[in-house]
Amino acid sequence: MIDLYSWGTPNGRKITIMLEELGLEYTMHPINIAKDDQFKPEFLAISPNNKIPAIVDTDNGQTLFESGAILMYLAEKTGKFMPTEDKARWATIEWLMFQMGGVGPMMGQTHHFVKYNADKSAYASDRYLTETKRLYKVMDARLANNEWLNGDSYSIADIATWPWVARHDWQTVDLNDYPNVARWYKTIAARPATQRGWNVPETEQKIPMP
Amino acid sequence: MIDLYAWATPNSRKVTILLEELGLAYRLHPVQIRLGEQHRHQFLAINPNNKIPALVDHETGIQTFESGAILIYLAEKTGRFLPKSGQARAATLHWLMWQMSGFGPMLGNLEHFSKLNPGRSADAEAHFQREIRRLYGVLNGRLGETDHLNGDAYSIADMATWP
Ligand SMILES: N[C@@H](CCC(=O)N[C@@H](CS)C(=O)NCC(=O)O)C(=O)O
Ligand SMILES: N[C@@H](CCC(=O)N[C@@H](CS)C(=O)NCC(=O)O)C(=O)O
């Protein structure tokens, strides 16, 4: 059984979508980051970086934080969504890292400067929006020749990236400018596990459509 | 034989330090990012994201970019610096991801605003300074509990963070 500590954010949804895909049983412990639950000592004992998501696997007592590490752990535990064949496996890990090191932190800054603090710094807003659009272009080129990011099959690289692309409206990005990303986005949005994972913990939010 | 495309930057040094630890033979192809060499076609064929480092392993035919992926690749190839199972593996991966997604990009952001473009945005400078102080606090707290980030031994999580 998996104990999941999370909230309905892009990094949180990576894990609920993965768990729903895997059909693994899990207990959701909501950590309301708008109310500073992430600074409570019980949570810091699991995630010293005061960020969701984090998990405890009660099958073996292992604790993990960082969404990318949790995705790799769950993929290795179940043998799913991370191919074992060499080429596809390394492409999965490389595009997962591209999400972790690029898409996540840079689009996160776009949310900070463009959406939440639009009046604070035109220079910073512009910097992160430009970088966000560059990242969309890289993904669009990749998905022009490949159905999935790893070039092989639906994987943790897609699962990690999709919830960030689902914030395209926050980023003031028109997905129709990136037709291959839009096609990939809609395909994943139609998966029942994506739709279930989207609303954990329960919300009334609809998946944004371009 | 391994071909490494890199320059003298923190993300590249993660990989050169690991290659030296492993004693693997490699050929270094300098990519001068200040001169824009990362945008050349030959390099984009290896990394469409126009960033160093990137690696080609001729023994296996694998080519990969993103420093974190390269570190895991070399660790699994040699069976070193990434424990194979258990909490030590989990902790190596989560601290590696912490560096990849937090410590690394936030230091890059701070450098951009405070060092390369001071005065452009006081708000952004303060924002990233706060975040970097917080991250150093997290790192210091962890290293107060254990010798190495994964709680077990020197690993790719330390090699990713040190540069
Ligand atoms: N690199 C981390 C980032 C996690 C993250 O940024 N979580 C946000 C919500 S999406 C959070 O918990 N923020 C609360 C805070 O920073 O205080 C991961 O991928 O897990
Ligand atoms: N997440 C990437 C980041 C790589 C990165 O930022 N590389 C920088 C140098 S340290 C670069 O190549 N910059 C050139 C550019 O962005 O045009 C990784 O860890 O490999």
Say whether A87 and B96 touch across the interface (CB within 8 A): no
Q: How far are the Cα atoms of A83, A156, A186 from residue A153, in angstroms, in the given order?
A: 8, 10, 16
Domain boundary among A81, A105, A136: A81
Q: With contacts defined as CB-CB under 8 Å, which chain A residues touch B62?
A: 86-87, 90
Is the bond preceding A201 in cis, omega lying within 30 degrees of 0?
A: yes
| Chain B residue at shortest CA distance from A88 | B62
- Which helix (DSSP H) or strand (DSSP E) does residue A144 occupy? helix A122-145
- Alpha carbon distance A5, A43 (integer Å): 8
Pocket of ligand 2 contains residue B38 by CB under 6 Å: yes
B86-161, what's its fold? Answer: Glutathione S-transferase Yfyf (Class Pi); Chain A, domain 2 (1.20.1050)
Asked if residue A186 and residue A91 are part of one domain, the reply reads: yes
Which residue lies with its CA nearest to atom 12 of ligand 1? A51
Please give the structure tokens belonging to residue B147. 């010798």
Average pLDDT over residues A23-35: 96
Those residues with Cβ within 8 angstroms of residue B159's Cβ, 6 or more apart along the chain or in another chain: B14, B17, B18, B21, B71, B81
Q: Is A127 on the interface with B (CB under 8 A)?
A: yes
Domain that holds residue A14: 2-81
Beta strands A62-65 and A26-30, pairing class: unpaired
Whole-structure pTM value: 0.97
Asked if residue A152 and residue A180 are part of one domain, the reply reads: yes
Asked if residue A128 and residue A37 are part of one domain, the reply reads: no
Beta strands A54-57 and A62-65, pairing class: antiparallel
Q: Helix (H, G, I), strand (E, B), or coil: what is residue A27? A: strand
Tens digit of pLDDT per residue, chain B (163 long)? 999 999 999 999 999 999 999 999 999 999 999 999 999 999 999 999 999 999 999 999 999 999 999 999 999 999 999 999 999 999 999 999 999 999 999 999 999 999 999 999 999 999 999 999 999 999 999 999 999 999 999 999 999 999 9
| Chain A residue at shortest CA distance from B101 | A101
Say whether B101 and A101 touch across the interface (CB within 8 A): yes
Q: Is A205 within a domain? A: no
Asked if residue A99 and residue A72 are part of one domain, the reply reads: no
Asked if residue A100 and residue A63 are part of one domain, the reply reads: no
Q: How many domains, in total, are found in chain A?
A: 2
| Ligand closest to the CA atom of residue A34 | 1
Q: Is A176 within a domain? A: yes
* Ligand 1 center to B24 CA (angstroms): 36
Looking at residue A204, what is its pLDDT? 79
Classify residue A207 by its DSSP letter.
Answer: P
Q: Is A197 within a domain? A: no
The CATH homologous superfamily of the domain defined by B2-78: Glutaredoxin (3.40.30.10)
* Ligand 1 center to A53 CA (angstroms): 7
Q: How does residue A205 score in pLDDT terms, banded at 50, 70 and 90? A: confident
User: What are the domain boundaries of chain B?
Assistant: 2-78, 86-161
pLDDT 10s digits, A77-115: 999 999 999 999 999 999 999 999 999 999 999 999 999
Distance from CA of B1 to the nearest CA of A (A): 17
